[in-house]
Amino acid sequence: MAITGRQNQESDDQGSAGIRVIARAADILRALGKHQDGLTLGEIAQIVGLPRSTVQRIVKALEDVNLVIAASAAGGVRLGPALIALAASAKEFSIEEFARPIIQQLSRDTGETIDLAILGTDKAVVVDQIAGTHPLVAVSEKGSSLPLHCSASGKVLLAMMPQERLAKILSRLAFTPLTPNSAASRQQLEHEIEVVRRDGFAYDHEEFRLGICAVAAGIRGPGDEIAAISIPVPTDRFRATKDALARAILDRTQALQRRI
């Protein structure tokens, strides 16, 4: 049987409505997750920005499957026991699993090598990589180390740390110059970290290796773990593409962060 245009439109409209209901239910569950003692319908409506009548309908549906339950005899609702079973069956994800679709997409978009690095002992460690497709690309090995003071990934990881932890690491760094462009002092590096915090990304202009530049941005996992996604590029090509690469990596990492 052929589907007419009108029927197709009605199906799309119903699908969109269903997606909105799911999104609103998720908002309600997240609001309750921040208030373990429960909330009244009016309080939920105010937090999620929905009419009380809409909240009431969604909460009733969630109550029917024990995703929320009555908070007390006086009223209100809180998260229900059905969520415990769901949480117990959820797989624990590593930061590498969260980031892999992003680094794959970035490599397809740019044709460049994409690295994922996490914090090691006073260094950044490459834990995943997608090789680029250009005839000349920058490639390092998985498991290799990057210096914190003079690599784009290292500067991003430092910028994401709480100030107390950052101060401890900076006090241990040797600031060994690897090229004439490497940060040579704690004061210089602290200034660069402030720039990274302001802009959301870091550059490496031949600071780690001559002939190679990079741009990096950070992501924070669901367990508050931190990682840096970087794009190392031969210097000649980097000069012409660095602004576009910075926009691309910032857009992708921010989109991933919103999902996390």
Tell if the pTM clears 0.85, that is, is over it.
Answer: no
**Structural class in CATH, domain 5-87:** mainly alpha
Q: How high is the mean pLDDT in each 10-residue block of the chain (260 residues)?
A: 44 64 90 90 94 94 91 82 76 76 92 93 92 83 89 97 93 93 95 96 96 95 88 95 95 84
Distance CA 245, CA 114 (A): 11
- Sequence-distant (6+) residues with CB within 8 A of 126 are 115, 116, 117, 140, 141, 142, 143, 144, 145, 146, 153
Q: Tell me what percent of the chain is helix, strand and coil, each rounded to the nearest 5.
A: 50, 15, 35
> Do 5-87 and 95-259 come out as alike in CATH topology?
no
Q: Which of 112, 104, 105, 103 is nearest to 133 (CA)?
A: 112
Query: What is the third-level CATH fold of 95-259?
Result: Beta-Lactamase (3.30.450)
> What pLDDT sits at residue 15?
58
> What pLDDT sits at residue 4?
45
State both tokens at 185: 């002092």
Domain ranges of the chain: 5-87, 95-259
State both tokens at 202: 């870091």
> What pLDDT sits at residue 97?
82
The CA distances from residue 8 to 5, 26, 158, in Å, are 5, 27, 52
State both tokens at 50: 């929905």
> What pLDDT sits at residue 239?
93
Matching residue, tokens 């107390």: 164
> What pLDDT sits at residue 93?
59
